[in-house]
Amino acid sequence: MENLLIYFLKANGLIILFYLMYVLFLRKETFFVANRWYLISGLILSLILPLITFTKIIWVEPTPIPAFYEEVIPLTNNGIEVPIQENPLDWSLILTTAYAVISMLIVMKITFELASFFNKIRKHQKHKETGFTLIHTDTTENPFSFFHYIVINPNRFSNEEFQHILTHESIHVKQKHSIDVLLGKLFCAFFWANPIIWLYRKAMLQNLEFIADSETFQQIENKYEYQRTLLKVVTHQHDLSITNQFYQSLIKKRIVMLHTNQSNKRNVWKYATILPLLVGFMLLFQIETVAQVKEVVISKSVANQIIEFVIDKNTTDTQIKEETDLLKKEYGIDLKISKIKRNTKNEIIALDAKFEDSDKTSGKISIKGEEAIEPIRFFKEVNENGKGKMGFDRNNISTVFAKMDADKIGWDEAKTIEIKKSDTDEAIYIINGKEYSKEEMKNKIVELDGAIEMNENEKTGKKIMIFRGNSTISDEPNTLIYLDDKIISEEEMKKVDTKIIKSVDVNKNNIKKEIKIVTKNSNGISEDTEIYINGKKATKEELDKIEREDIEMVNVNNNNGKKSIEIQKRNIKTIQGGSWKEVEKEMEMSKAEIERAKAEIEKAKAEMERNKFTKIIETDNGNQSVIYNGNRLKIPGEPSVKIENGKLDIFVNRKKLKNAEDFLTMNHDKIYYLKVTEKETNENNVIVIKKIEVKTK
């Protein structure tokens, strides 16, 4: 709708521009035929130019990704009310509909006039002449023409007057002036709200009469009698606006133009005055600037060889395939990019990347989120000895785990790194900057957030394995606990009410144990909320029986104070015929639909949860900060902080609050500025917020 409005405004602006230049420079010139094509071109270009855009690409250097903090808000068993959704009137839709209705009425009027014209000429006798069809009528008093038809009442005019009118109207027919008339009418129908379009059409009709008068004046001998003929029909008008009428208003102007001296040919430069304005329009409104992050392809230096590949949000699947094929062919690096997800703008929001070279050095990263990714750089540096660093440069990437043997570095789908005893070759492991021997790392499990670098001393044969990033070492396998696909702590799991649990699945392997808890579909829905499944009223028990994979759509709404949830179950689809590839494609599409249904449910529950327990603070920069659990504050891009006296300084309009907790009771709707201005890292390497600045209206 917004794009259509912008196009409409641009088209109207160009129409006004063409008309003003015509009035200022061309209206008094006698280049009538050139003026005709100028006016027609103005209408056509007004439609075409707003559709033509040019893209200007600005290349920018990749910027580091800011640190990402995620706060898990514990779930409680408190009742959750369905949020109220208001449905205000869509004034833009109402106005657009009204505008379209008026345009259709004008088009219907044009259609009616066409039908009326053909109905009139059908009743009268037609005479085929050279170049036109002459229709004699006793009912139409004013002569007119439409395409190849000329309609005239011969009883009202003398023979000489009749020939003058016939010459005039035949020029309209020969030059197809009816096209100009219809074009002007259609533009008035679609741009009727612009008063200039009506003046524009009037100028077109007037110029057509100037053309016919000028050429008629050159072909007849009795010029005085022709002017008397013009005056004779002043009092008679025809009611069809789609025709070229011999009578037009402003007869005085037509007679004046007949006696106006021909314009000097040097004045044709005036037609070029519109060109700078059109160029200015294209430069101001039709150039889109796109910021493109530079993609560094494979390059080499003199001392060291650097192999690198950068992926940003706009990298296409074709570019990824070309670069990974090149890395495989030229450098023996098997880089696989998988599980790519894109948003509606075709920007990458999630992916997995896995690499392995000929030396079996390998690594893996995983990015998940809803926002477009920041640039990710894969690199391998090779020194004169053929060794060097290899991995990913990244910040906002989830923790990477892998399973590894000390003798053979390889990756699989496990979630930790397990180092086992090796009977050959002494190895040194460097974790968080500290060296560990093979014996010290026996039966240990390492969880790392980063990549692994493997080096080997050519003289001693000693292997050095460096774990890049923050890593932890433990003796016991870790347990991962999921609540509806979200990782929670053991303490949070203990707080989950057993009444809302639908199923518990325990999966244990040789590295980690996983506990997956799935809650009931009705969790968080209040008792007074009405539930509809496929348009039929249902109970919470019936809702809990539905598998989430079978849900296609969830709508949460409020109708006149009555809260309700509408659930649309997915129709089971049978795949028949076709090749196996087509079947696989159908299955992939079904999986995507299931994921969207899950997201709809989670979104609805999250919305209800937030409206129940949270307070949203929206600042002028568009950020939305959240107060939840009574005294916790989450500012976008910052870790969450607990509002407590003595542990946090809060300044409101540059004045420090005596009690930080007073911030919780103040009027948050007046806050337009909220920013962390001081923070520090404690002994556990955790960022702690110390000072917050607040400004109110």
- Quick one: three-class SS letters along 564-589? EEEEEECCCCCCCCCCHHHHHHHHHH
Cα–Cα dist 218/30, whole Å? 14
The DSSP annotation for 221-286 comes to S-HHHHHHHHHHTTT---S-TTSEES--S-HHHHHHHHTSPPPPGGGGGGGGGHHHHHHHHHHHHS
- Alpha-carbon separation of residue 260 from 28, 202, 263, 451 (angstroms): 9, 21, 9, 87
Distance CA 400, CA 457 (A): 27
d(CA 649, CA 122): 91
Quick one: pLDDT at residue 25? 94
Q: Is-contact 82 527, C-beta < 8 A?
A: no
Q: What is residue 101's predicted lDDT score, i.e. its pLDDT?
A: 96
CA–CA distance, 530 with 5 (Å, rounded to integer) = 40
- Which DSSP state fits 560? T
What is the rounded distance in angstroms from the CA atom of residue 637 to the CA atom of residue 616?
16
pLDDT computed for residue 191 by the predictor: 96
The edge-to-edge listing of strands for the beta sheet with 562-569 is: 536-538, 530-533, 562-569, 551-559
Residue pLDDT, tens place only, 529-577: 888 888 788 888 888 888 777 777 777 776 656 777 888 776 655 444 4
| Cα-Cα-Cα-Cα dihedral sign, residues 540, 544, 547, 549 | positive
Q: What is the pLDDT of residue 23?
A: 95
Task: Judge contact between 665 and 658, C-beta under 8 A.
Answer: no
Burial of 189-205, coded b for 16+ CB within 10 Å and e otherwise, reads bbbeebebbeebbebbb
Model pLDDT, residue 632: 85
Which pLDDT belongs to residue 308?
80
Q: Which of 325, 408, 397, 331 is nearest to 367 (CA)?
A: 397
For residue 506, give the 3-state DSSP assignment.
strand
Give the list of residues 6+ apart from residue 428 with CB closer than 8 angstroms, or none. Answer: 435, 436, 437, 438, 462, 463, 464, 465
The two structure tokens encoding residue 4: 């259509």
Question: Measured in whole angstroms, how far is the alpha carbon of residue 437 from the centre of its chain?
Answer: 54
d(CA 412, CA 584): 25
CB 118 within 8 A of CB 135: no
Write the DSSP symbol of residue 151: E
Regions of the chain with pLDDT less than 50 = 65-80, 82, 247-248, 298-303, 395-425, 476-477, 510, 574-578, 610-612
- The one-letter amino acid code at 129 reads E
Query: What pLDDT does 157 receive?
Result: 86
Q: Which amino acid is at 258?
A: L
Pairwise CA distance, residues 75 & 325, whole Å = 46
Reading the block at residue 597, the tokens are 């249904």
484 CB neighbour count, 10 Å cutoff: 17
Residue linked to tokens 């008397």: 228
What does the pLDDT read at residue 378? 81
Q: What is the pLDDT of residue 76?
A: 40
Domain positions in the chain: 1-58+268-291, 101-260, 294-480, 520-606, 615-696
The number of helix segments (H) and strand segments (E) in the chain equals 13, 36
Could you tell me whether strands 452-456 and 444-449 are parallel, antiparallel, or unpaired per DSSP bridges?
unpaired
Per DSSP, 65 falls in state P
Q: Which H or E element spans position 180? A: helix 177-190
pLDDT at 575: 47
- Helix, strand, coil tally for the chain in percent (to 5): 35, 30, 35
Cα→Cα distances 294→153, 297, 301, 375, 466, Å: 76, 9, 19, 9, 30
Per-residue tokens: 532: 């509809």
Distance spanning both ends of the chain, measured CA to CA: 34
Give the model's pLDDT for residue 667.
Answer: 87
3-state class (DSSP) for residue 531: strand
Taking a C-beta distance cutoff of 8 angstroms, is the pair 181, 243 a contact?
Answer: yes
